[in-house]
Chain A
Amino acid sequence: MPHDHDPDHPHSLLPPEPELRVKALESLLVDKGLIDPEAVDALIALYENEIGPRNGAQVVARAWTDPAYLDRLRADATAAIAELGISGRQSEHMVAVENTPDTHNLVVCTLCSCYPWAVLGIPPGWYKSDAYRARAIREPRAVLAEFGVTLPEGKAVRVWDSTAEVRYLVIPERPDGTEHWDAAALARLVTRDSMIGTGLPTLPGTAA
């Protein structure tokens, strides 16, 4: 073993290059029978292809179009989201926070990078960055400006630091001019960032 190895931190025994480090650990865990190599691929494929922000967009679109659903979402978001077949890892205790003309909501996890995986998928790189974790809680407006979001005068910002197992889903304001749209069409306007609070829904007519 390397003579400078730190007994509290065996990870320093692995190769320094991150890619080789992961490879070494994966080979070891597979050899020891602690990991099924096919499960690695299945898990990655699940989060690359199936569990993502389209889940959350369905929740938002339903909340915009169905007042009884919105009431249930306010009363017990975990149960209301599960009605749409969405539940699981890192989304065990959901709370929906609604943007209004007076308040804009923004979600961060300053201590790690907690995020509602089952509802929004794997968090984007910027959400896991030190800059976002450090700054969103102290200067949310400066951070929002970097995302191109400028709030109207008089609108307050409410930042949610995900310090427990409660996960917050932002319900953005429904865009004007969508009064006759159905939930499926509306869901296409709901961006991932609009459900974290760093973005707003796509405006009708500008959807890609």
Chain B
Amino acid sequence: MSRAHDMGGRFGDGPVPIGGEDRVFHEDWHARAMALTVLSAAHGAWNIDASRHARETITPQDYTRFGYYERWMAGLADLLVARGLVREAELVNGAAPAPMAAKTLRAEAIPASQRLRVPYTRDGGAPRFAPGDAVRTLNHSPNQAVPGGHTRLPCYAMGRVGQITRYHGAHVLPDSNAHFMGEAPEPLYAVTFTATELWGSGAEAAGDMMVLDLWESYLMPADG
């Protein structure tokens, strides 16, 4: 029950490609792909979770052969069509020139738009867990409402026991929001796992730890 993006812990990728950092964007088209993605979101036709899900649902074959910004472009094109901003035929044939839409972000509004803080915290119920509590993560995808749906519980951390180390407040639940099924805010916690719990005898060092931010519905009491 995973998709190609859920690669934490995977073997076979080789060395980290360090270097080539004389520019913020390696290619001009990387910069433009970033800009088109950020600017298209200003129309409010989707949210950040839907945008991540669009990149995750390109086929595993495409996901693997695409570079980072190619994944962004594919996700954007798919979303533009799915949300009705662009018609399929227009991707092939183009469109007749039209006046700028009311919501189109203008150049002069750019600096303020990037410095604006739009929080993901919401009013929510009292948290079920407290720092120090031992919890077990679900052993299957938490997204039971949508088969293959969006979730932020990675495969490598499913069915594992960890400890709540921080409460972040109630946050928008990506599993729901990505599918336009509402924000469904839930308590969000930092959960700390030992390397041995996650990787068994493959752990590099017994004392190492991995921390994930996990929503309450991903968790149950460890002794439950």
Contacts and interface: CB of A to CB of B under 8 A. Distances in A.
B123 to A, nearest CB: 16
A165 B204 contact: no
A44 B35 contact: yes
Interface residues of B, number: 110
Contacts of B157: 161
A31 B10 CA distance: 42
Given A47-B31, A125-B17, 6 more contacts: A14-B73, A22-B69, A28-B95, A48-B23, A111-B8, A157-B209
Given A1-B92, A131-B17, A133-B7, A40 B35 contact: yes
Contact of A22 (B33, B43, B86, B210): B33
A39 B73 contact: no
Interface residues of A, number: 87
B120 A43 contact: no
Given A35-B36, A111-B8, A42 B208 contact: no
Contacts of A3: none
A72 interface: no
Interface of B: 5-11, 13-21, 23-27, 29, 31-36, 38-40, 43, 48, 52, 55-59, 62, 67-70, 73-78, 80-81, 85-86, 88-92, 94-101, 104-111, 114-121, 152-154, 156-157, 166, 168, 171-172, 174, 188, 190, 192, 198-199, 202, 204-205, 207-215
Nearest to A137: B8
Interface string A9-26: 111011000110111111
Interface in A94-136: 95, 108, 110-113, 117-118, 121-122, 124-126, 128-135
